[in-house]
Amino acid sequence: MTDESQQGRRNFLRAAAGLGSAALGLLLALPGASYVVDPLLRASGKKGRWLPVAELEGLEEEHPVSVSVVGEQRDAWTRAPQRKLGMVWLRKKGEQVVAFNAECPHLGCKVGYDRDQKHFACPCHESAFNQDGDVQGGPAPRSLDPLETRVVDGKVEVRFVRFRAQTAERVEIG
């Protein structure tokens, strides 16, 4: 064999080994890259999701009803089905259903409802809110956080989202 043909064969084997190594490296890197990028691809611009929370016939106009929000809890790569995500207050108002997140905008304590005085009250720092969610007293920096609602086949659904506490403006955090 001539020196030139041996050199050509060596160059070919070197190139084939390099391309094979690169292909194998790419093949191994794809699952790792998709693992890292997956939560970013799943995230959308609008936070919250629609979840069924109650039957429309179980609501009344005079007093709000407290209901738990149950759904899949997602945290980057983990998913836990049927977890309690929070609570909301629901009340019929004419043909509409009004919903408020049950977390006080001051520090996030669970807001209760006083049926006798017909207002919401935070047990932690005595913030008070009327039936429309407006602040009536206490350190709360804003009204109760309203949530979007819709009725589908007699079931009330809420776009459940949380808001940042201790700020005058509503900032969705998830």
CA distance 64 to 69: 15
What's the DSSP call for residue 152?
A: E
- Given a contact cutoff of 8 angstroms between Cβ atoms, the answer to whether 170 and 145 are in contact is yes
Which pLDDT does position 39 carry in this prediction?
59
Which pLDDT does position 80 carry in this prediction?
87
136 phi and psi angles, rounded to 5 deg: -110, -15
Supply angle C-alpha 79, 25, 41, rounded to 5.
30
Which pLDDT does position 1 carry in this prediction?
61
User: CB 110: neighbour CB atoms within 10 A?
Assistant: 13
User: What is the chain's pLDDT, residue by residue, as a tens digit (174 residues)?
Assistant: 667 777 778 888 888 888 888 888 888 887 776 666 665 555 544 567 899 999 999 998 999 999 999 998 877 778 888 899 999 999 999 889 999 999 999 999 999 999 999 999 999 999 999 999 999 999 999 999 999 999 999 999 999 999 999 999 999 987
And the tokens for 37?
């990028």
**pTM value?**
0.73
Question: What strands, in cross-sheet order, belong to the sheet with 128-129?
Answer: 112-114, 119-121, 128-129, 135-137
Which pLDDT does position 38 carry in this prediction?
61
Which pLDDT does position 115 carry in this prediction?
93
- Listing DSSP states for 48-80 in one string gives -EEEEEEEGGG--SSS-EEEEEEEEEEETTEEE
CA distance 108 to 163: 9
Which pLDDT does position 34 carry in this prediction?
67
Which pLDDT does position 42 carry in this prediction?
55
